[in-house]
Amino acid sequence: MSSVDSVAYYMHELNRDSGMYEEILTVLGICYLGKLTVSLTWSAIQGFRAHVLSRILPSPSIADTYGRWAVITGCTSGIGRAYTVELARRGMNVVLISQNIDKLSDLAKEVEMDYSVETKIIQVDFSEGRSIYQKIATELDVLDVGVLVNNVGVLHGTPLYFTELSENDVWDMINVNVGAMTMMTRVVLPSMLRRQRGIIVNLSSISSIKPVPLMGVYAATKAYIDHLSQALSEECRGTGVKVQSLIPGYINTSMIKSYLPHLTQNPYLVPNAEMFSRHAISTIGIVDRSTGYWLHGFFAYFMQLSPSWVHLRISHWLNRNVRYNIINNERSKVSQISKHR
């Protein structure tokens, strides 16, 4: 074979291989586009059901559907308090579980006076762990618990590297964020299954979708809540009992104000607890997993699409800057106090 023929032969083989690779890449691209289209369509349908139809179509009474009593943990402030007031407004009796007896008593008096419902107070500190749950189980045993809102949670105020967390910080997040949701569910779920009705609402977070540097333990506890909620939802399918995982973005609460105060200035991107709770409660019985607030659904969708390494780098950079600003502000306050002495 002459050199000219050899070149022609190799060029022919190269073109053939190139054509084959192009076909493979085309097929892969079509498959990915198809997956993306199906995912986007399904998310749009779920979002429409959760945030549009649920607020347009008449819905049955939560109390009549699931039971007369709602149990709310971490109920004296933020989302927990807003859920308590909204459920009482809808005619549900409420069990208030939190640590501060004065705040519990004030909230009980408020909802009894405003909405003519019954209340029950259980004072416990969820950071104590295993020892508190027998008391809670005994108090709830005689009630027709139809709704459990596992809201109680803790977040350290400043983004911190793992080695900067105190041992108490770590145990608080494990005992409160993980332990409370798991054990409270274990307390009420058997009776719900016997009655074949009830719903458990677990407050996770949008941070559960991807790992978050400088908030690693917190985000991991929220991922635990989301994963267990989805598993329980499937286990309870067909029993009359529902389990809902809520993965909201930032909500304007005291926890977030201490962490990212500038974000709370936009009420549409960062709704207050009352606005969020009204939206989220409308999704009860409609979807098993939701951000609870329609605009946060877009954030969650694009977070799921983004490559993990991109999210890790960006969230690390953002939290590092937030940490730097908080530490500098604290130093500045200390310096100002010293000058005035």
Active site residues: 218
Four-point Cα dihedral 294, 298, 300, 302, nearest 10: 170
CA dist 288 and 201 (Å) reads: 9
Which CA distances in Å does 260 have to 8, 29, 159, 195? Answer: 66, 40, 10, 43
CA-CA distance, 279 to 291, in Å (whole number)?
Answer: 10
Cα 176 to chain centroid distance, Å, stands at 14
Can you tell me the distance from the alpha carbon of 304 to that of 291, in angstroms, rounded to the nearest whole number? 13
Q: In what order do the strands lie in the sheet with 241-246?
A: 119-123, 93-98, 69-73, 145-150, 198-203, 241-246, 289-290
Name residue, tokens 């106090």.
Answer: 337
Q: Where would I find the H helices in the chain? A: 3-48, 54-56, 62-66, 78-89, 101-115, 133-140, 167-172, 181-195, 216-235, 254-257, 273-282, 294-305, 308-340
How many CB atoms are located within 10 Å of the residue 11 CB?
Answer: 10
- Residue written as token pair 């799921």: 304
Contacts of residues 100-109 at CB distance under 8 Å and 24 or more positions apart, as own/partner, are 100/76, 103/76, 103/77, 104/75, 104/76, 107/75, 107/76, 107/81
